[in-house]
Structure 1
Amino acid sequence: MAKSVFITGTDTEVGKTRVSAALLHWCAQQGWRSAGFKPVAAGLDAAGVNEDVQMLRAAGSLALTDAEVGPLQFQAACAPHIAAALEGQTINMALLVQKAQALAARADVLVVEGVGGFCVPLGPDADTADLAVALGYPVILVVGLRLGCISHALLTAEAIRARGLPLAGWVANTIDPHMPHLQANIDTLRHEFQRRHQAPCLGVVPRLADASPDAAAACLDPMALHKIFSA
């Protein structure tokens, strides 16, 4: 079975897909069969495919279809339970877990990217945190570096711990390159994540002109990643 991880973020648009693709690329560089999985995606391009799904598919080393990487892709770019309702569908979490496990059986590494933040509803009785628990994979938290990120990051980490999931580490992704006291915020996050959760920083991704997975992967900490994926 794969060494699998669940990627979540402090909010939507904080770089989860960028970091997930970088992890997939890095794992492929190690010679591992890497596969990305986006259980639920909302917002399709003109070709009828979600951009995040396309990025994960391209970054992994297994030859997969868009449907294998993103089994549920909805047209509207909004909260997934709303997007599903607009199309008269419901999100079957048990089926998503089955598909993730089937994909994990074909890979050495499976990177599962959640949607939005950690507790986004998937229906009236379940959210993405429930999906993470059902999968049971260690969680990597992507922290979008902008004003307010410290509280958002630590609250999300508390929610992950409350669900009984291990926080394998976190990645800082620069949203606002002009954020006041950027380095001081990173230093505080390093200290608090270590003090509260013994969770290492797996990398700091600056605002890059080259948005490729290769460029982002170069910003990750290889020693820290080896501890997670080679454990």
Structure 2
Amino acid sequence: MTQRRFDLIAFDWDGTLFDSTAIIARCIQAAVRDVGGKEPTYEAASYVIGMGLMQALAHAAPDVPKELYPMLGDRYRHHYFAIQHEISLFDGVLPMLADLKTRGLILTVATGKSRRGLDEALDTSTLVGIFDASRTADQTAGKPDPLMLRELMAEFDVPAERTLMIGDTTHDLQMALNAGCASVGVSYGAHESDAFAALSPQYVAHDVAQLHNWLRLNV
């Protein structure tokens, strides 16, 4: 029997487990319009997904003055919470997580979402009890700072070499690299997979089925 390589898996949320990339990008665009900023392109709005909220909005809307950041954040939350019920898990995520859970892996979430946003998503997506722990950007440092990964590893006393980060953005993979962890990229979320190569992921999955198959064979 092949020896298991990893004990802890940290999943990004939006664009990795949750099919939310397009909605988040549209909410960013709407929030910037609301405060009179220049609307970012869809590509620019998608690029910042995974960062902490205010870090992301500041990056997407560099012309918006800092004194308007609180309003910008409020407008984003207004748009997002109004339509979050339209977002769902990617097909195949629940069976994949159930499979990993039965194998005794520690499953966690490391996300740029707020604590409120993640808790509301977990409460509405039949995932209660699946994840052993989570960290959000407003609890700790935002990506690509490695702090949230280091906190999760410390919580379960798992070293970096036994930890795997899975995400859809370069922010996720850079965080893993900064923490000394292995990573897997997914190309069906916010970032084009061409940008992943420089960050040395173990694998790039183009759909959830590919991700599940790789995890079955390599974790």
Q: Normalised by the size of structure 2, how large is the TM-score? A: 0.42
Higher helix content, 1 or 2:
2
> If each structure's strand is expressed as a fraction of its own residues, which one has the higher value?
1
